[in-house]
Amino acid sequence: MHETTFALPRVERIPADISRRPSRSAPNDWRQQLPVLSGRLLTLREVRSEDATELLPLLAAPEVTRFMSPPPPSVERLVAFVETTHRERRAGRYAGFAIVPHEIGRPVGLVQLRQLEPGFATAEWGVAIGSAWWGRGLFEEAGRLALSFAFDTLGVHRLEARVAAQNGRGMSAVAKLGGVQEGLLRRALLTADGNRVDQVLWAWLADEWRARTTTTGQEEELWVH
């Protein structure tokens, strides 16, 4: 997949009783601080302002930006983006994780989860990983961690992903994670080079994901701190 969109959900006026209502099955504390999610190869922890220096060169590389929206153009702008994600997390609308391989202890990518409707019942996710780390199993493990967090902690019912139709690697990755291909979004993505490309809409449903992880036993490999 190796793609994400550097955009936050449109802030809408939501009745106070709804905006303060916890997400279904979600503990209140994720809004205060995201948990650290650990697997065999990597850790997902909340993206930090100091990550910008490490992440920007990786996410701005042409081979990475080919299939995603333009990243912030400077470290300062990326820091501002990260600070905005923290405000959105406190509001209960967003979760942004840095992908940190155990072997180096530094971030090499980003996972974003943002609500598409109040309460995170429907959400969207995106992933970007530096090209030097492609093909090492990081996407699959980061994806499983993020999916489990979305369904088990955020209380997501339906999770969507949009993958550029030309991104064969990404299409294979989301299929391997159990995503269902639902449709074609024509010229839906404006990429960093100014082109408009088609995207394929993929989705997961909470009950299907739980059935899949129960069958495969994948959840045994995941730890939450």
- CA 54, CA 56: separation in Å to the nearest integer? 6
Q: Residue 224 has what pLDDT?
A: 52
Surface-to-core class of residue 130, CB atoms within 10 Å of its CB (0-12 exposed, 13-18 middle, 19+ buried): buried
Tokens representing 49 are 């302002």
The whole-number average pLDDT for the span 28-37 is 91
- How many CB atoms are located within 10 Å of the residue 198 CB? 15
Amino acid 141: pLDDT: 97
Q: What is the pLDDT of residues 81-138, one digit of tens each?
A: 999 999 999 999 999 999 999 999 999 999 999 999 999 999 999 999 999 999 999 9
Is 24's pLDDT higher than 90? no
194 band by pLDDT with thresholds 50, 70 and 90: confident
**Domains detected in the chain:** 34-219 (3.40.630.30)
Q: Tokens 């391989």, residue?
A: 101
Confidence (pTM): 0.84
